[in-house]
Amino acid sequence: MNRKMSRKLAIDLVMTVLMLVAMASLITGNTIHELLGVSMFILFIVHNFLNRRWYQTVLTGKNNVLRVLNTAVNLLLLVTMAVLMVSAVPISRAIFAFIPINNGMIVRQIHVLAAYWGFILIAVHLGMHWRMILNAVRRITGITGTSRIRTIAVRVLAVLIVVYGVQASFDRNVGSKLIFYYTFDYLDVDESTLGFFIDYLSIMGIYICGTYYALKFVQKREEAKAFKEQLR
């Protein structure tokens, strides 16, 4: 992996961490939440600048299932992040509090809606690039070759994460926050910070694993189709 790709990957991972911590606004407090949001917005701009060539090629070249899905996810993420950042300004109580905008409950709900869809789309985006991330981890750790035992262990772990993530999704009422039907959360004095991040990492794991294995299936079908066409 070259230096440019490593830089892009590092920015993606930092943005993911910022998004994850920003979801814990009731734990971190509003000021830290807003600082995290601004930092993520700056990195999002940098991310798009480094990937500006993608916008020049989005309407060119041959389309296939993988390319269409990648384009759709990227554009949805772009729109969602834009809505998230714009809706953050009128409800700000710290960084942008000086801006005299009358904020209502509807704006807060839009912000939460965009935040949760952005959270899921980031996970899907990671899932679409998970093979690249795994290759980077292998290079860093010096892992070479394949191991059946390691593969089975990783797949069992993935299943456990998904199962726990589904349960955490219900416990955290994630579904209601994705359909604009949401009653705001209140700080639970018994809330465990570690428990919060385990829950949300598991929820993210649903979409990372689902996307990764779904794309593997699609890719195998595409390769089989191309092979059959070559035999004709």
pLDDT in tens, the chain (232 residues): 567 777 878 888 899 999 999 999 888 999 999 999 999 999 999 988 888 888 878 777 677 778 888 889 999 999 999 999 999 988 888 898 888 776 678 888 899 999 999 999 999 999 998 888 888 878 877 777 778 888 899 899 999 999 999 999 999 889 888 887 665 666 666 678 899 999 999 999 999 999 999 998 888 887 777 667 776 6
SS3 assignment for the chain: CCHHHHHHHHHHHHHHHHHHHHCCHHHHCHHHHHHHHHHHHHHHHHHHHHCHHHHHHCCCCCCCHHHHHHHHHHHHHHHHHHHHHHHHCCCCCCCCCCCCCCCCHHHHHHHHHHHHHHHHHHHHHHHHCHHHHHHHHHHHHCCCCCCHHHHHHHHHHHHHHHHHHHHHHHHCCHHHHCCCCCCCCCCCCCCCHHHHHHHHHHHHHHHHHHHHHHHHHHHHHHHHHHHHHHHC
Check: CB of residue 208 under 8 Å from CB of residue 126.
yes
Q: Would you kindly state where each structural domain of the chain is located, as residue ranges?
A: 3-231
Amino acid at the residue 158: A
